[in-house]
Structure 1
């Protein structure tokens, strides 16, 4: 399995809009075992995205799906930056 955990920063006042846009992409990603978007409890402009994939290749392939590319294009104007990103090797857990 392949995992990603990242902290994304929304433009000021745009976090809820960004969350809504990112949640639109969750049904169109073959190989995605877990996709969670969460608000940062201490930073009103930050969100955390946790992903678990069956493979790194499935994650890369998802970025070529037209619906996913459209969601990314809509989100880009309100993304202020990427604060942190970690690649992981999930070994199991609830929901996997």
Structure 2
């Protein structure tokens, strides 16, 4: 499995708007085992995204999907910074089998 954990900081007061975009965009993504968007309770402008994929190729392929490209296009203007995404190697857990 292939995992990513990333942090986005939004423009002040725009976190909920970006969250909505991130949650409407994914839909059904082949190879995606888990996609979680979470708010940082200590910072009102920070979003954490945790993803688990069958492999890195499935993640790369998802970035070419029209609905994912559209979500990126709509959401990007709301982002102030991206932290370096951390790549992980998930080994299991609830929902991952």
Smaller-chain TM-score bracket: over 0.9
TM-score normalised by structure 2 residue count = 0.95
CA distance in 1 between partners of 2:45 and 2:89 (Å): 28
CA distance in 1 between partners of 2:14 and 2:67 (Å): 22
> After alignment, is 19-28 or 1-10 more displaced?
19-28
Write out aligned runs for 1:1-96 (5 A): 1-96=1-96
Task: Check conservation: 1:32, 1:59, Cα contact below 8 A.
Answer: yes
Q: CA deviation at 1:26?
A: 2.5
Q: CA deviation at 1:29?
A: 1.2
Give SS of 1:41's match. Answer: coil
The CA RMSD measured in Å over matched residues stands at 0.8
Unaligned stretches of 5+ in structure 1?
none
Task: Check conservation: 1:28, 1:68, Cα contact below 8 A.
Answer: no
Task: Check conservation: 1:8, 1:84, Cα contact below 8 A.
Answer: no
Aligned length: 96
Task: Check conservation: 1:6, 1:49, Cα contact below 8 A.
Answer: yes
Q: CA deviation at 1:83?
A: 2.4
CA distance in 2 between partners of 1:64 and 1:54 (Å): 17
